[in-house]
Homo-oligomer: A and B are copies of this chain.
């Protein structure tokens, strides 16, 4: 098993970041322009990146603290993986702990996604700090 982990300090409140990682408007603004999402337990969020179709079931929703998804439809290597966002306020900033966990192995796809996730998290940081992200 292999996990992608990124810690990012964001100059924004946990409330703002929680909105960005749980609502359709938020997720469209920094990750995926073609998003269907609802902050409801069990709802299946859909993210479409060109030819790549992804379904993520919402498994955790702790307001302003954490959300998590289980990947139920995507490329083969993503199916069964989990994605989580954990938020901790620290000195007027927020530490985001991001995990894309439960990969079967640290493959080339894993390493490419690890790089891509960092750039998307930079987009999330930019969206939360300035109002503008760089979604795909």
The answer, yes or no, to whether A118 is at the interface (CB within 8 Å) is: yes
**Does A29 make an interface contact (CB < 8 A)?**
no
Please name all residues of chain B whose beta carbon is closer than 8 Å to the beta carbon of A122 when the two chains form the complex. 119
Interface of chain A residues 29 through 75 with chain B (CB within 8 A): none
A11 partner residues in chain B, CB cutoff 8 A: none
In the assembled complex, A111 has its CB within 8 A of some CB on chain B: yes
Query: How many copies of this chain does one complex carry?
Result: 2
* A108 at the binding interface (Cβ < 8 Å): yes
Q: Please name all residues of chain B whose beta carbon is closer than 8 Å to the beta carbon of A108 when the two chains form the complex.
A: 7, 97
Query: Which of A7, A8, A108 has most chain B Cβ within 10 Å?
Result: A7
Residues 67-124 of A at the B interface (beta carbon under 8 Å):
97-98, 106, 108, 110-112, 114-115, 117-119, 121-122
Bound: A97/B3 CA distance, A: 17
Q: CA–CA, A122 to B7, complex, Å?
A: 17
The verdict on A16 contacting chain B, using a C-beta distance below 8 Å, is no
Q: Which residues on B sit within 8 Å (CB–CB) of A114? A: 4-7, 114, 118
Instruction: For A5, list chain B residues within 8 Å (CB).
Output: 106, 110-111, 114
Closest to A4 in B: B114
Q: List chain A positions with a Cβ less than 8 A from chain B.
A: 3-8, 97-98, 106, 108, 110-112, 114-115, 117-119, 121-122
